[in-house]
């Protein structure tokens, strides 16, 4: 008598089956490797995959059917009870797919992504606020650059660029296109950054082969924040914002300095510098070039800051190796705001504004 087998399907014991019938069930997919099976001699139910050759890649065809007479003989031994809670795995058809993430994992990933986005947004806002409040903006296309200052070098670059000027203070604007202009002109646009009012729009002639150009001396008559933009063929190539102040300040190139006062020390520096004087009050002007003059004279230029009128322009003889010089006693005969500038070889090295009451 052939061995009798039992299987668990849908939580119920099925059988008995012959070994050949069991093999046919495996070939047809009626049972799978996870199906629990039992036969006499086993101590408990076991998975079909454990049964030798039951699920091999090559299963021999079943032998010809055997005629049975009468009912099947009962097998000796009793099959174990079906395990409680057992559920046979459902058969799946079609192409295998990667198991999707569980909702819990997806939610965690989304939270991480959302957190990164929030942090980046906050960082950008903070950077934007700092940029708006603490720095003067500049923009550039392809490395083009606008710079402003009191002195230009032989290559038409600004020496020691400045972004803060006094009302009516003169300065140059240097525009480096960082490439040939390929046109015959460019436009300098000056706007009030706070009101967007256009204060000036000036067209400058250039050679197409040039890459850099410098304007004539500029000045702004009103305090405020201003944006200087250079436009080539209708496109803004670079811009620079500056602040124009109406406070009494001094300007300096490479550490050069003007000071005014009533007393000088042995090194020709002013003792207790002053910026407010009375009409006809005498004072000295000390100019420290912070380097050798390398020339035999300097020029003192005095201007009325409110009207731009030149009050006086005086040359002083010096020695080329000197680094500092002091004028004779000066005085101003009329009340007003005045700017004192020292020029070396025609270039403004330092300025200082004073009030005369």
pLDDT band, very low/low/confident/very high, at 68 (cuts 50, 70, 90): very low
Q: What is the dihedral of CA 34, 35, 41, 44, to 10 degrees?
A: 80
Distances (CA, A) of 243 to 122, 140, 262: 28, 19, 32
Mean pLDDT of the chain: 80
CATH T-level topology, domain 138-245: Immunoglobulin-like (2.60.40)
Mean predicted confidence (pLDDT) in 54-80: 44
CB 55: neighbour CB atoms within 10 A?
18
Q: Which has more confidence, 219 or 304? A: 304
Residue 63 scores a pLDDT above 80 = no
Q: How far apart are CA 300 and CA 327, in angstroms?
A: 9
| 172-176 and 185-192 strand pairing | unpaired
* Tens-digit pLDDT profile for residues 210-228: 999 999 887 888 888 999 9
Burial of 357 by CB count in 10 Å (0-12 exposed, 13-18 middle, 19+ buried)? exposed
Mean predicted confidence (pLDDT) in 315-324: 94
Domain 1-89: CATH architecture, name and number where available: 2-Layer Sandwich (3.30)
HEC sequence for the chain? CCCCEEEEECCEEEEEECHHHHHHHHHHCCCCCCCEEEECCCCCCEEHHHCCCCCCCCCCCCCCCCCCCCCCCCCCCCCCCCCCCCCCCCCCCCCCCCCCCCHHHHHHHHHHHHHHHHHHHHHHHHHHHHHHHHCCCEEECCCCEEEEECEECCCCCEECCCCEEECCCCEEEEEECCCCCCCCEEEEEEEECCCCCEEEEEEEECCCCCCEEECCCECCCCCEEEEEEEEECCEEEEEEEEEEECCCCEEECCCCEEEEECCECCCCCECCCCCEECCCCCEEEEEECCCCCCCCEEEEEEEECCCCCEEEEEEEECCCCCCEEECCCECCCCCEEEEEEEEECCEEEEEEEEEEC
- pTM of the entire predicted model: 0.39
- Distance of alpha carbon 348 from the chain centroid: 37
Residue 9 scores a pLDDT above 90 = no
Q: What percent of the chain lies above the pLDDT cut of 90?
A: 46
pLDDT band, very low/low/confident/very high, at 351 (cuts 50, 70, 90): very high
pLDDT band, very low/low/confident/very high, at 85 (cuts 50, 70, 90): very low
Residue 36 scores a pLDDT above 60 = yes
Asked if residue 121 lies in contact with residue 113, where contact means CB atoms within 8 angstroms, the answer is no
Mean predicted confidence (pLDDT) in 29-49: 88
pLDDT band, very low/low/confident/very high, at 244 (cuts 50, 70, 90): confident
Length of the chain: 357
Residue 340 scores a pLDDT above 70 = yes
| 276-277 and 347-356 strand pairing | parallel
Distances (CA, A) of 298 to 171, 233, 318: 19, 42, 7
* Tens-digit pLDDT profile for residues 103-114: 555 566 666 777
Mean predicted confidence (pLDDT) in 14-37: 89
pLDDT band, very low/low/confident/very high, at 123 (cuts 50, 70, 90): low
Q: Which has more confidence, 123 or 198? A: 198
Q: Which CATH class is domain 250-356?
A: mainly beta
Match 């504004």 to its residue by tokens: 353
Handedness of CA 272, 274, 280, 285 (dihedral sign): positive
Asked if residue 239 lies in contact with residue 228, where contact means CB atoms within 8 angstroms, the answer is yes
Residue 304 scores a pLDDT above 60 = yes
Q: How far apart are CA 342 and CA 344, in angstroms?
A: 7
Nearest to 36 by CA among 25, 223, 328: 25
* Tens-digit pLDDT profile for residues 139-183: 989 999 999 998 899 999 998 898 888 777 789 999 999 999 999
Q: How far apart are CA 291 and CA 325, in angstroms?
A: 12
Residue 126 scores a pLDDT above 60 = no
């Amino acid at each position: 008598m052939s061995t009798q087998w039992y299987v668990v399907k849908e939580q119920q014991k099925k059988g008995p089956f012959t070994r050949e019938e069991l093999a046919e069930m495996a070939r047809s997919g009626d049972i799978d490797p996870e199906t629990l099976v039992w036969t006499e001699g086993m101590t408990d139910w076991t998975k079909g995959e454990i049964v030798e050759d039951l699920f091999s890649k090559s299963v021999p065809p079943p032998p010809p059917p055997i005629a049975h007479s009468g009912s099947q003989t009962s097998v000796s031994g009793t099959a174990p009870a079906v395990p409680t809670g057992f559920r046979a795995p459902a058969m799946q058809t079609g192409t295998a797919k990667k198991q999707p993430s569980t909702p819990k994992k997806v939610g965690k990933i989304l939270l991480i992504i959302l957190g990164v986005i929030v942090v980046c947004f906050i960082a950008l806002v903070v950077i934007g606020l700092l940029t708006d409040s603490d720095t003067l903006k500049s923009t550039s296309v392809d490395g083009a650059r606008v710079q402003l200052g009191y002195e230009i070098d032989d290559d038409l670059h600004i020496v020691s660029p400045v972004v803060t000027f006094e009302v009516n203070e003169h300065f140059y604007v240097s525009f480096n296109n960082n490439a040939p202009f390929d046109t015959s002109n460019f436009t300098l646009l000056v706007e009030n950054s706070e009101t967007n009012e256009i204060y000036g729009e000036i067209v400058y002639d250039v050679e197409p082969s040039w890459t850099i150009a410098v304007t004539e001396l500029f000045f702004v008559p009103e305090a405020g924040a201003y944006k200087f933009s250079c436009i080539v063929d209708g496109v803004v190539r670079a811009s620079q914002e500056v602040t124009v102040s109406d406070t009494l300040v001094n300007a300096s190139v490479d550490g050069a300095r003007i000071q005014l006062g009533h007393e000088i020390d042995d090194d020709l520096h002013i003792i207790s510098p002053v910026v407010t004087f009375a009409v006809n009050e005498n004072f000295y002007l000390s100019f420290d070039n912070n380097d050798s003059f390398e020339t035999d004279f300097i020029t003192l230029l005095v201007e009325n800051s409110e009207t731009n009128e030149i009050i006086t322009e005086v040359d002083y003889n010096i020695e080329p190796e000197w680094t500092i010089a002091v004028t004779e006693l000066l005085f101003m005969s009329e009340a007003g705001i005045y700017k004192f500038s020292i020029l070396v070889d025609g270039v403004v090295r330092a300025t200082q504004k004073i009030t005369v009451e």
